[in-house]
Amino acid sequence: MLRNLYNPEESELLKLCKSGSWESVSSRTRTHPSEAQVTDAARQGHGTTALSIAIRSNASLLLVQEILQADTSQIAVTHSFRGTILHEAFRYRVNDDILEYLIHEAIRFENGKKSASSDLSTSKVTNLFDKKDELGRTPLHYMVGKTIQSFGVVAPADHRLILQEILDQNPKAASTMDADGNTPIIMLLVVPRFGHDSIGRGCEKEIFSIIKLMLESCPEAVKAVRHLPRPWHFRTNHFTVVENDLLHGEGLPTPLSCALLHHRSLRTVQLLISVSREMGINACTTIVTHHQEAALHVAATMNSSHDIIQSLVEESPAMACVPDAKGLLPMDWIWIRHVIEWCSFTAAAHSDVNASRRRYVSSNFSKWHEQVSNQYLLVDESLEKTSPCSAVRESIRCLRIDFIQRITKVLSAMAKSPNEVSRNGSMTDEDTVTKRGYSSLPLVHLACAVNCPLALVALLCESYPEQLRTRETVSGRLPLHMAVSRSGYLRQIPVGAMGSLGETWLKEDSSTHWILSRHPTACRIADSRNQLPLHISIDLVKSEKNAPPEHHQRVYTQGHRNIIWTKEVVALLEQYPEG
């Protein structure tokens, strides 16, 4: 105890460094170099050195060189809280020339230590570039932070050179987590989007280059998840994984999910997917939030580009059919976000439309859903054609095109999962399902085969009208055959932030009536198994004898006879009684 309380008298050189009398410091260093020697207190981690004080006091490069040359062992001193001299150089934002000098001297010191060791296998693994400060950060963390601050200002090529030198000394630093739960790669991935201009694209290019550099040195860094501070730890402790052999993970953010949440570029996302695959993990099937979301769910809620969604579904198509904790598929979230975005761009939008918050659904969503559905179902006049504002018309047009591109990727992925299609009562030819799946179905057929909003079917029918009369090559089925094989759209939408305001039901009939109104003679056409749409619809009624209560409202008694048919069966009978 007495030893810890005892503070030896400071040398004259230390006093001059603290006062900032640099001319006197330079003279004193040349005349009394012994005063720059490392003290016992500094070696024990609670003292300081002349070099450390000079760094904190913004001394010049020439003066730093003189002080360090007086006793080169100062470069190896590690303070218990402040870390090494490299940590202090980053923290006090020294000039790049001083920083490069210190890093090179640290590298020279480490190389000399290794060459002096008689047995490298028994030498300590840790070195100056492994050391951490009180924040748990290595020099690589600080160098990444310095690089981020210089985006768009300083030529990043110089920083990449320093990053490479640090990684050469300690590749594992790329996977080292600080006290906030961030690795250097995560720090880069969570940087806010810079914009879509030339500067923003240049910054995204640099982020990709640096992440590629770190993953080449330490591929294991792609496995490091982000441990969020409280209260998220508390929520994660109560996380329970759904019973699905495809999923894995503990609900913690991964590098891939961080890239999606902060709108990183397509190249960065593809790089993370590729390296994860090489490391033997499927980043697309990892649960990354306490909502039991995977990467595709995050991409859907963030309105990621169709190229990114395509990369995710190509890596793991089955994830398109995996629901989150609220029972919503990625397709459902793409539709929800499209409805909110559509309303936010129109003059009829409410003042409380908020399209920027992920997974936030307003209590007015049912009204917005009806408004957008009426546009695509042609119940209301299309604002894309009738709006007096050209900017609104162009925004709606771009939203529609972008939505079709993104939803197409997910529908195609759902088609590759026969289990999802068969659950919705579509084709019953098991041999066809096993051998071929549904990847060759046209888009309108796909939309009719899976459980999707009626407005989405209408939008695809409008975009691809010829597919209404196109027979699928193997089954010989039209979109009407697909539509009558499934029930209507039924989803429970969480309202408020994380469903804090309860839930609202979206209930829609199947697309049978819509398809039948556009192609009435389709009910007279049999498929390759000689089944009419009426036959398939009756099979669906049989299979739903024990249907859940929410389906009962679609069933009614026809006339005075004690026969219960669905509205779809009655519509087919009325259109084609001879069936």
Give this prediction's pTM. Answer: 0.85
CA distance 17 to 49: 10
Q: What is the mean pLDDT of the chain?
A: 82
Assigned token pair, 323 = 């629901």
pLDDT of residue 126: 54
Residue 20: the pLDDT is: 82
Helix (H) or strand (E) holding 505: strand 503-507
pLDDT for res 565: 67
Residue with tokens 């975005």, as numbered in its chain: 341
CB 358 within 8 A of CB 300: no
CA nearest 283: which of 304, 311, 244? Answer: 311
Helical (H) or strand (E) element with 416 = none
Among candidate residues 550, 506, 552, the one with its CA nearest the CA of residue 326: 506
Token pair belonging to 317: 């198509």
Taking only the tens place, the pLDDT of each residue in 284-296 is 999 998 889 999 9
Query: pLDDT by residue (tens digit) across 256-280?
Result: 999 999 999 999 999 999 999 999 9
pLDDT tier at 579, thresholds 50, 70, 90: confident
- Say what the pLDDT of residue 560 is: 44
Whether residue 232 is predicted with pLDDT greater than 70 in this model: the reply is no
Q: How far, in Å, CA of 509 to CA of 511, rounded?
A: 7
Please give the Cα distance from 172 to 127 (Å, whole number): 12
pLDDT at 183: 95
User: Which bin fits 152, alpha (ψ -120 to 50), beta or left (φ > 0)?
Assistant: left
Express each pLDDT in 308-363 by its tens digit: 999 999 999 999 999 998 899 999 999 999 998 888 877 544 445 555 578 888 88
**Class (C level, CATH) for 2-192:** mainly alpha
Residue that has been written with the tokens 């039948």 in this structure: 516
Reduced to 3 states (helix: H, G, I; strand: E, B; else coil), residue 556 is strand
**Which parts of 289-379 fold into alpha helices (H)?**
295-301, 306-315, 330-344, 365-376
Highest-confidence range of 401-405, 490-494, 535-539, 552-556, by mean pLDDT? 401-405
Instruction: Supply the pLDDT for residue 449.
Output: 87
Tokens representing 230 are 């409280």
d(CA 358, CA 379): 30
Domain segments of the chain: what residues? 2-192, 325-528, 529-575
Strands 503-507 and 555-557: unpaired
pLDDT at 123 over 60: no
pLDDT given at position 19:
86
Average pLDDT of the segment spanning 17-39: 87
How crowded is residue 544: how many other Cβ atoms within 10 Å of its Cβ?
A: 16
Are the CB atoms for 345 and 445 separated by under 8 Å? no
More confident residue, 392 or 134: 134
**Per-residue pLDDT reduced to its tens digit, 53-93:** 999 988 999 999 999 999 998 998 888 888 999 999 999 99
Q: Which residues contact 518 (CB under 8 A, 6 or more apart)?
A: 461, 468
Residue range 147-152: average pLDDT?
Answer: 83
Cα 426 from Cα 547, distance rounded (Å): 16
pLDDT of 140 strictly over 90: yes
Quote the crossing angle between the two packed helices 365-376 and 330-344, to the nearest 10°. Answer: 90
What pLDDT is stored for residue 425 in this prediction? 38
Determine which of 224-233, 337-346, 566-575 has the lowest per-residue pLDDT on average. 224-233
Looking at per-residue pLDDT, the higher value among 331 and 415 belongs to 331
Q: State the pLDDT at residue 102.
A: 93
Spatial contact of 95 and 61, defined as CB atoms under 8 Å apart: yes
- Confidence tier at 152 by pLDDT (50, 70, 90): low
For 483, what's the count of Cα atoms within 13 Å in the CB-facing half-sphere?
31
For residue 120, what pLDDT is reported? 43
Tens of pLDDT, residue by residue over 424-467, are: 434 434 333 333 444 568 889 989 988 899 999 999 999 999 99
Cis before residue 231, ω within 30 degrees of 0?
Answer: yes
- How many other CB atoms are found less than 10 A from the CB of residue 479? 34
pLDDT tier for residue 44 given thresholds of 50, 70 and 90: confident
What phi, psi does 352 have (nearest 5°)? -100, 15
The reported pLDDT for the residue numbered 562 is 44
Q: Pick the residue with more confidence: 554 or 524?
A: 524
